[in-house]
Structure 1
Amino acid sequence: MNPVRVGVIGVGNMGAYHAKQLAANKITGAVLTAICDAVEEKKEWVSKELGSNIAFFTNENELFQSGLIDAVIIATPHYSHPSLAIEAFKHELHVLIEKPAGVYTKQVRQMNEAAQQSGKVFSIMYNQRTNPLYQKLRDLIQSGELGEVRRTNWIITNWYRSQSYYDSGAWRATWAGEGGGVLINQDPHQLDLWQWSIGMMPTRVRAFCRFGHYRDIEVEDDVTAYVEYANGASGVFITTTGEAPGTNRFEVSGDRGKVVIENDKMTFWRLRTPEPEFNQTFKGAFGAPECWKCDIPIHGQMTGHDGIMMDWVKCIQHGTPLLAPGEEGIHGLTLSNAMLLSTWTDNWVDLPIDEELFLSELNQRIETSRYQKPKAEATSGTVDMSKTFG
């Protein structure tokens, strides 16, 4: 079988990594054939680091029409992910996008529709789904071992970022440049794993985001959110970039026990008798179900970014199921959009969210953002950013 010819759009930190892995033949079944980046000077870097045989473009449409690629990895600024993916689908190309799927769900929904109509393989770089710990958590929940989910609690505060980090780029932590703060820049993986592992989305969200609370930035850097699910369960999500030392602790309680993932370890407390059954039969004044601390076998190793790329290529070549379908990127983004909208409106937000209201609120902040990049330079190529804001 011929290898999948891959092009990479955007060779910043992550795009450069993907390109190097492809050029080094680390991704089975794929070969790097082209790079696209708006910075002409990157051409010399491509020739030196990736090989003189790699075609270089500064315009993505020329790349799409070149006939040199079968598939494309999009590693550009957040706002451009959906618009570039839609154009790639129009040219009958398979697509792998970096996270997040986009900045607002309306544009991501349009991307998903284009993907479905194209019939091409569409994936998203949710590399944390390759972590055996979260795969096992998902298995314990989906198999019923944990019972019905009653509560989720994720404290993810180990994203410490100094003011100098934010000052390193004028686009950083701005509504016009990134479209948000900790929720869209640091937390997409956790927001994805949260809903992916438990297998359900909330029905409504009440959140309290603080903007520029710890740093001189215009976007959110401290968030506490409360969610409710259709089955009566509830959840809390707490995140920030301003605390040190930070915590990364995900706890899921079910009616058959509790699982905690922290410090790269899983602990499972299993009830000998399910709580509802114990409650119905116990007649004493005080008591609780007998609880066992269980060691859960965790098999496999996290394959990260390479694993997602290989999974995508394997699906293209053999039709195997994707670990991270691109269409699922809308779920984590829905959660972050809902948290922001809840704060902006100082109210509960029902899911699915009011996409037009969110976009209107976002555009108000873009208009007054301290970062106003010329539209012609808004992506790694020539997509007009004004087309993505409405």
Structure 2
Amino acid sequence: MQHVRIGIIGVGTMGKRHATYLQDQLITGASLTAVLETDAERVGFLRDHLNKSVRVFTDEETFFTSGLIDAVIIATPHYDHSRLAIKAFEHGLHVLCEKPAGVYTKQVREMNEAAQQSGKIFSMMYNQRTNPLYQKLRDLIQTGELGNIRRINWIITTWYRSQSYYDSGGWRATWAGEGGGVLINQCPHQLDLWQWMTGMMPKRIRAFCYFGKHRDIEVEDEVTAFAEYENGATGVFITTTSEAPGTNRLEITGDRGKVVVENGKLDFWRLRVSEPEFNQTYQGGFGTPESWRVDIPIKGKETAHPGITQNFIDAILKGTELLAPGEEGIKGLSLSNAMQLSAWLDDWVNLPIDEELYYQYLQDKIKNSKVKKTDNNIALHVEGSY
């Protein structure tokens, strides 16, 4: 294969962005050849504004059997991600999926198994992994510059959403429509980066999720979570959609120093000797290890969504290593599922989580949701659209 024909499933806000840079020929080795959309108004718009060479489908089966595509970008509501990815693999197509990987880990695990059986390329749209700042921080951690991780604190409250935002769609902020609130809608990138940069998953989580605390919604709009790791490290994750102005501050401490990421800047304080060594040898009573503030060069620029798509295409055509392998989507989702389950149980939750227990609780939430579900658990949106 020398060229990849891409079909986009779901051409809402994100789907349109993907269509735009593909039509602008910003991706080498790929072109947009088809889209699948079920909303009548959007379909009319797409037929008027897409290149004439792009086929607009309204029927799912016809789209998948058209022979016009080699790969798909899935940009639908959350509940559809896993089902559509599995169907794409069954039709021999490569898959690039928007975040989150799904709503619950049970369905995502099935998607991962289908990907492995298909032998096709599978990637997640974790575009924040293209940010040179986060790449550099990951490098500092993975190469041991920070030593053993001891503490991770992330305050991410720059997700302000008004009541009018939630009222703009009857499916928004409902268990049946989206499967959660700030954790699954706004925070998937941070939850992914948390485990990707550190290379660690917690052994257990205790979370306090507040459902409809500041907005008239049924899902979580404020969360404070505490995580414990096998090596003794701890983590705190705080998020909400109701603070203004918000904060985005990540602080990671190891036994060889500390890193703070805030306002698009990385600050690194390196200890001259590790804290354990200082503690063993220092005899002066009061005192702290000598630390140096180190200027860390951040090279390159964030390529965002086109960068992940180009990496996906290069993996198909050249065998390039994926920056965001699709199978890793379950990790960040495990963190959000664990936080919700901890709040529902009012207790600690061990990881990996009890997937059946989480699924049972979620089904109960869906049953009482303002938006009802079909028998096969695919979300029904008031727009009737992907």
Shared fold, TM over 0.5: yes
Corresponding residue for residue 291 of structure 1: 291
Give the distance between the partners of 1:208 and 1:150, measured in 2 at CA.
22
**Which residue of 1 is the match for residue 144 of structure 2?**
144
Separation of aligned partners in 2, 1:160 and 1:237: 17
- Partner-residue secondary structure (3-state), 2:279: helix
Q: Tell me the residue number matched to 2:110.
A: 110
| Structure 2 SS opposite 1:292 | strand
Offset of residue 20 of structure 1: 1.4
Pair 1:191 & 2:191 matched: yes
Does the 8 A contact of 2:82 with 2:108 survive in 1?
Answer: yes
Give the conservation status (yes or no) of the 8 Å contact 2:371–2:380: no
Return 5+ residue gaps in structure 1 as ranges: 386-390
How far, CA to CA, are the matches of 1:317 and 1:379 in structure 2? 36
Structure 2 residue 238 is matched with structure 1 residue 256: no
**Aligned equivalents of 1:59, 1:108: Cα separation in 2:** 24
SS, match of residue 8 in structure 2: strand
Please, which moves more after superposition, 210-219 or 49-58?
49-58
> Residue type matched to 1:114 in 2?
A
Q: Which moved more, 1:308-317 or 1:41-50?
A: 41-50
Using the alignment, how far apart are the partners of 2:232 and 2:116 within structure 1? Answer: 33
Following the alignment from structure 1 to structure 2, what is the Cα–Cα distance between the partners of residues 174 and 110?
24
- How many Å separate the matches in 2 of 1:269 and 1:210? 35
CA distance in structure 2 between the aligned counterparts of 1:201 and 1:240, rounded to whole angstroms: 22
Query: Which residue in the other structure is 1:388 paired with?
Result: none
Which residue of structure 2 lines up, in the alignment, with residue 247 of structure 1? 247
SS in 1 for 2:313: helix
Equivalent position of 1:265 in the other structure: 265
The residue identity in structure 2 corresponding to 1:294 is: V
Partners of 2:238 and 2:174 in 1: CA distance: 21
Deviation at 1:112, TM superposition (A): 0.2
Structure 1 residue runs of 4+, over 3 Å off?
A: 373-380
Instruction: Give, in angstroms, the shift of residue 50 of structure 1.
Output: 1.6
Aligned partners of 1:98 and 1:124 also within 8 Å: yes
Is this contact kept in 2: 1:206–1:226, CA < 8 A? yes
The one-letter code of the counterpart of 1:224 is: T
Alignment partner of 1:348 is 2:348? yes
The answer to whether the 8 Å contact 1:77/1:379 transfers is no
- The answer to whether the 8 Å contact 1:46/1:52 transfers is no
- Check whether the contact 2:374–2:380 (CA below 8 A) recurs between aligned residues: no
* Deviation of the 1:378 alpha carbon: 3.8
Equivalences for residues 92-241 of structure 1 within 5 A: 92-241=92-241
The answer to whether the 8 A contact 2:35-2:55 is kept is yes
Q: Does structure 1 conserve the Cα–Cα contact (< 8 Å) formed by 2:373 and 2:380?
A: no
Deviates more, 1:51-60 or 1:132-141: 51-60
State the alpha-carbon separation in 2 of the partners of residues 258 and 328 from structure 1.
27
Tell me what 2:4 maps to. Answer: 4
CA drift at 1:371: 1.6
| Alpha-carbon distance between aligned partners in 2 of 1:171 and 1:210, rounded to the nearest angstrom | 19
2-structure distance, mates of 1:125, 1:314:
15
Q: 1:59 Cα shift?
A: 1.9
Give the whole-Å Cα distance in 2 for the aligned partners of 1:4 and 1:180.
34
In structure 2, C-alpha distance between the alignment counterparts of 1:42 and 1:313, rounded to whole Å? 27
SS of the residue 2:40 aligns to = coil
- Residue 151 (structure 1) shift: 0.4
**1:30-63 superposed Cα distances (whole Å, 9 cap, x missing partner):** 0110010112333332232221221111122211
Q: Which amino acid aligns with 1:50?
A: L
Matched to 1:233, the amino acid is: A
Residue 324 (structure 1) aligns with: 324
Question: Cα distance 1:375–1:59, how it changes in 2: closer, same or farther (>3 A)?
Answer: farther
2:276 match: 276
Superposed CA deviations along residues 101-131 of structure 1, whole A, max 9, x for unmatched, are 0000000000000000000000010000000
- Determine helix, strand or coil for the equivalent of 1:230: coil
Aligned to 2:15: 15
Q: Distance in 2 between matches of 1:259 and 1:91?
A: 45
Q: What RMSD, in angstroms, separates the aligned Cα atoms of the two structures?
A: 1.6
- Structure 1 residue 2 displacement after superposition: 2.8
Distance in 2 of aligned mates of 1:24 and 1:45: 18
Cα deviation for residue 216 of structure 1 reads 0.4
Q: Does 1:55 align with 2:40?
A: no
Superposition deviation, residue 373 in structure 1: 5.4
Q: Secondary structure at the residue paired with 1:194?
A: helix
Task: Give the superposition deviation at 1:26.
Answer: 1.1
What is the percentage of aligned positions where both structures have the same residue?
67
Q: Give the distance between the partners of 2:149 and 2:49, measured in 1 at CA.
A: 49
Letter in 2 for 1:128: Q
Can you list the C-alpha shifts for 1:139-198, whole angstroms capped at 9, x where unaligned?
A: 000000110000000000111111011001100000000000000000000000000000
Look up the SS of the partner of 1:41 in the other structure.
helix
Question: How many aligned positions are there?
Answer: 382
Task: Provide the secondary structure at the position in 2 that maps to 1:371.
Answer: coil
CA shift at 1:372, angstroms?
2.0
Please say if residues 259 and 268 of structure 1, whose CA atoms lie closer than 8 Å, have aligned partners that are also in contact.
yes
* In 2: Cα distance, 1:39 partner to 1:63 partner: 15
Q: What residue identity is the alignment partner of 1:281?
A: T
Secondary structure class of the residue paired with 2:221: strand
